[in-house]
Amino acid sequence: MSSRRARSLGRWGLAALGLLGAALLPAALCDPAPAGAAGATGAAGTLGAKPAFGLLGQSPYVSPGTGGVGTFELTLSMSGGVPAGAGVVVDLYRPLATRSAFEATLTNPPLGQIGSAGPAPVAGLPAAAGGGRTLAVTVVPGTAPAGVTGPSLSLECQLGTGTCPGVYPVVVTLERQGGGELGRFTTYLTFTEGPAAAPLRFAWVIPVDAPVRIRGDRLGQAVVAPSRARVAALGGLVASLERRPDVPVTVAASPQTVQQLGASPSKSAQEVVKGLVQLSGDQQLHQFPAQPYVPIDLGAIAGSGERTEIVAQMAKGAAVLRSSHVATDTAQTTWVTQGTVGPSIGSGLSDVRASRLVLPDGQLAPPSATISGQAGYHTWTYPFTLDLGHGHPVLAAAADGHVAGEFSDDPSDPALEAAQVLADLAVVHFEAPNLTDGQGQPAARGIVAVPPAGWTPSAAFDDQLLAGLQNNPLITPVTLDGFFSQVALGGPRGVTGRRLASGSGTALAPGLAQRLTTARLRLTSFVSAVRPRSETVLSQLDDLLLAAEADTLRRRGQFAGVAAFERALGGQLSLIRVATERTITLTARTAAIPITILSSARYTVVARLNVSSDRFLFPGRGGAGVPNVVIDHPTTPERVVAEARTSGDLPLTVTLVAPQGDPPLVIAHGELTVRSTATSIVGIILSVAAAAVLPTWWGRTWRAGRRARRARPAP
């Protein structure tokens, strides 16, 4: 459970009571269970039998009905054994005036109790779907009118005076009969007397993705498929969206995830894709911005000069979604980024055809202007121009960090998370509910919410949040396009300019950019050699290289991904080789040297065959080699005419290279041994000359010796 919203005595500074179990002693004394029953479960409610107590759902807001009376309905989860006679108590606290006050209630008990209802016996609460119980609390502005039965709460205000609307903290406690707390949580009652003149615009960017994981280098299997749990979570998310088709949202569907889901034999995975196809049919309600193949750090890649990879990411992403029949916004205008942001992202926005940027609010320097009397500016709820340097500001919006944290603060109680998100948005609305523009018209404000990276959807959370947004009088859900078109730049006062916080942003790990460049050049060259192009192999190689660029892999994972690509490409190249097992014998000085190329590839390769040796001359064709060797059989013979410069065992180097590339990719390489038994013309002439000269030399030597012997005096 998150430290922000631990809903036990520990969250209110009493966690130490549980260290030695002493906190359970008073409860045990109140429990008539016999000795030895400690740790038992069931209706007796003995020591250790605390039920899991939480929220399954609640009214997103309460409005006064007949006689000014409203109803606040809570659906409670209670499992693990509820003692007989247990009841539910609801305590109401004063409305929250600021967002900081709301934040405080997430970690501390609220202040200023104004009312209490209950205890309402659990046994008398109607059963609800999912094994819960439904508690209906009557809400009245002042004194409860005659005829009101059951638990009720008074807001202690008067309708029509502006004192009633607001967000009221509510503490819900499950108690034993006669005393003793079994469970507790804090939620919120949002009260409104009618639709707001300018509801808060809420743009929820919903990621539909699975973590990128690379294991091994086997094509088609190197990138790990989404787990069953992830598929189930995505299925629940899509089903929730389909149940509320009229709630506008922005869906950031990862093409790589969609591709893997579509290729999966799992019916559940394929249903997710079908649901996305259906949802993407109306871009006004479900905006699907164009996405890179995998989530990338646009600023880091652009800053490293790898713009080719950005273009490749977007092209592959568009191709995958198009082939999966998932429609996208044809006019890519907004890029959503997470993490550290620096000026270098500006150069990448043009590569993704984006003129607007959504970035975390923590990446922005504080606003340069303070607007007195305008509380709404304390929560920056307007688009602004962001200076990225070089005189090219971009229209931007801040993704609210507070709301993002509430998406994953306590996954153990997702319905309560959703209730807290809705309450947070309502608090932002009530911070400045009556702002007007220069013409006296209501001025819209808005919030963009981007769940944190790695967020896991929950059907309970999604259902509750979408249900709370539907027909909400204070909050109007919009797409990103709706946010930028409906919320004025800079708000009523036109304070438009903001700057990045200090820092240069992120960068690719040292050496990674060069590895990516080299890998892309090698792949491009290999593509030029495969004819007709094997879409499966080439696509899988491209997928693996692009997947290695996912920013969620971190530095080590990215290097490992590029290495996996290099091994996978090397595996394809190893399917082509030059036969070097035997020695080739030439009996003539000039002859055609036979060269055999072996292939176990399932596709045709067209390459240039180059030969080289300082022991041969290669007449004709302008040099050594064959320009277009078609390798489409297990054995491909070729011949290269060569002239031996000498006899004996002569080495010959054979290289197969791709038709294109700078430098071209080496597909195969081998060293042949060529044995030349032929005698050259020069050798013959030298031998004849030697044969003619040798007798003369012998004769001259014999005569010279004879004369010398005659001239020697007798002894």
pLDDT digits (tens, 9 = 90+) for 438-458: 777 888 899 999 999 889 999
Does residue 393 or residue 240 have the better pLDDT? 240
For residue 370, how many other CB atoms are within 10 A of its CB? 10
pLDDT band at 19 (very low <50, low <70, confident <90, very high): very low
Estimate to the nearest angstrom the gap between the alpha carbon of 210 and the chain centroid.
Answer: 7
Name 201's Cβ contacts closer than 8 Å, sequence gap at least 6: 444, 445, 446, 447, 476, 477, 478, 482, 483, 486, 487
Q: Give the CATH H-level superfamily of domain 9-191.
A: Immunoglobulins (2.60.40.10)
Name 373's Cβ contacts closer than 8 Å, sequence gap at least 6: none
Q: What is the CATH number of domain 580-678?
A: 2.60.40.10
Residue pointed to by tokens 């396009």? 481
Q: What is the pLDDT of residues 97-106, one digit of tens each?
A: 999 999 999 9
Q: Can you tell me the mean pLDDT for 638-648?
A: 87
Q: What confidence score (pLDDT) does residue 695 get?
A: 67
Contact 546, 213 (CB under 8 A): no
Is the pLDDT at 494 greater than 70, yes or no? no
Is the pLDDT at 633 greater than 50, yes or no? yes
Closest residue by Cα to residue 314 from 358, 351, 273:
351
Q: What percentage of the chain carries pLDDT values higher than 70?
A: 83
Name 252's Cβ contacts closer than 8 Å, sequence gap at least 6: 205, 206, 207, 208, 209, 289, 291, 336
Estimate to the nearest angstrom the gap between the alpha carbon of 173 and the chain centroid.
Answer: 39
Which segment, 32-46, 343-357, 536-550, is predicted with the most confidence on average?
536-550
Helix count (H) and strand count (E) of the chain? 16, 27
75 forms bridges with which residues in the sheet? 57, 134
Q: Which two tokens stand for residue 385?
A: 């121009």
Q: What is the pLDDT of residues 105-163, one digit of tens each?
A: 999 999 999 999 989 999 899 998 777 899 999 999 887 666 677 789 999 998 988 89
332 vs 355: CA distance, rounded Å: 8
Q: Can you tell me the mean pLDDT for 255-281?
A: 96
Q: Which two tokens stand for residue 18?
A: 């549980």
Q: Which two tokens stand for residue 30?
A: 């109140």
Contact 248, 589 (CB under 8 A): no
Name 114's Cβ contacts closer than 8 Å, sequence gap at least 6: 92, 93, 94, 154, 155, 156
52 forms bridges with which residues in the sheet? 79
Does residue 349 or residue 411 have the better pLDDT? 349
Query: Tell me, what DSSP letter sits at residue 636?
Result: E
Q: Can you tell me the mean pLDDT for 80-90?
A: 88
Q: Can you tell me the mean pLDDT for 72-96?
A: 91
Q: Can you tell me the mean pLDDT for 206-229?
A: 92
89 vs 94: CA distance, rounded Å: 17
Q: What confidence score (pLDDT) does residue 715 get?
A: 55
pLDDT band at 511 (very low <50, low <70, confident <90, very high): very high
pLDDT band at 632 (very low <50, low <70, confident <90, very high): very high
Q: Residue 371, class by beta-carbon neighbours within 10 Å (0-12 exposed, 13-18 middle, 19+ buried)?
A: middle
Contact 222, 467 (CB under 8 A): no
Closest residue by Cα to residue 5 from 459, 452, 464, 405:
405
Is the pLDDT at 17 greater than 80, yes or no? no
Q: What is the CATH number of domain 200-368+375-435+442-499?
A: 3.20.110.20
**C-alpha radius of gyration, the chain, whole number:** 39
**CA 119 to each of CA 49, 54, 171, 178, 212: distance values in angstroms, whole numbers, following the listed order:** 20, 16, 13, 10, 50
